[in-house]
Amino acid sequence: MTELFKFQDTRYNRQENMPEWGVHGQEKLKSATVAVIGAGGVKSTLLMALVAAGVGKIGIFEFDTVELSNLNRQILYRTSDIGVHKGSAAKKTLQDLNPEIEIILIQEKITEENIHELLSGYEFIVEGGDSPHGRNLVNRYCLDSKKPMVHASAQFSYGYVFSMIPSDKSACFACLFPDDHSRTEHTGAVPVNVLSTSVAGSLGAAEVIKWFLGYKDRMFVNKRMVFSSLILSSDFEVERVEKSPSCPVCGEV
């Protein structure tokens, strides 16, 4: 039998043998720069996927500490990490997973005053503000700087992923939540499980990888992928999200 693929014991061999990925695609990922805001439940899986895949430079923006209640879904952390700065624990785990990539830890909260300075060195933004105000701030930054952004979230047994590409004048975060874009308060802790966060994190990582491999036409732009995470219905649906001409944020762009 003819050997179709040449398998070697190298870090990226299995994905480099994929026709849609290849060695050329791996080189693209090696030179990619991604900012990930937050390192909680969804971002735990998302970060591990990006690091394992070989994204060359990842900035992690996190200023919280690990708590016992995090451990049911934030798979980057261990019981021994309780009380430790979350970003430091995440960087240690991720660097151990793949020491070939550059991981930069930023323990600052993103504000109107520092957002341009902190995010200027990254091509792609994974949104994950700690409040609606924070998410809307990142949304506005990405629109102004014409940087692609992905938003992935999970609650209860469901979750979703949504991307925007400002250079293509796609729908923005405020178009996705037209009645919510100006809310400043956080809803607080919500019930959630590791199935929801892991699926949402994997979908979010896929959006980032699609972008750098050149498959932006396959991303969930102007639409949202919604799922119910295996316990109740296991449904996956795609909802259209239209760019609103009257959007108070991107309608001006």
What's the pLDDT at 92? 97
Task: Please count the structural domains in the chain.
Answer: 1
Q: Which two tokens stand for residue 176?
A: 């996705």
Q: pTM of the entire structure?
A: 0.94
| Tens-digit pLDDT profile for residues 36-72 | 999 999 999 999 999 999 999 999 999 999 999 999 9
Range of the domain at 226: 16-252
Q: What is the CATH number of the domain that holds 211?
A: 3.40.50.720
Q: What is the rounded distance in angstroms from the CA atom of residue 193 to the CA atom of residue 208?
A: 23
Residue 99: inside a domain, yes or no? yes
Categorize the per-residue pLDDT at 84 as very low, low, confident or very high, splitting at 50, 70 and 90. very high
User: To which H or E segment does residue 45 belong?
Assistant: helix 41-53
CA-to-CA distance for 14 and 221, rounded, in angstroms? Answer: 28
In this structure, is residue 11 part of a structural domain?
no
What are the pLDDT digits (tens) for 198-242? 999 999 999 999 999 999 999 999 999 999 876 667 789 999 999
* Contact between residue 228 and residue 192 where contact means Cβ atoms under 8 Å apart: no
Query: Is residue 25 one of the residues assigned to a domain?
Result: yes
Residue 197 sits at the vertex; the CA angle it makes with 102 and 100, to the nearest 5 degrees, is 15
Tell whether 185 is covered by a domain: yes
10, part of any domain: no
pLDDT (tens digit per residue) in 85-116: 999 999 999 999 999 999 999 999 999 999 99
In a domain, 76, yes or no: yes
How many whole angstroms separate alpha carbon 5 and alpha carbon 1? 12
Query: Has residue 7 been placed in a domain?
Result: no
Q: Is residue 1 part of a domain?
A: no
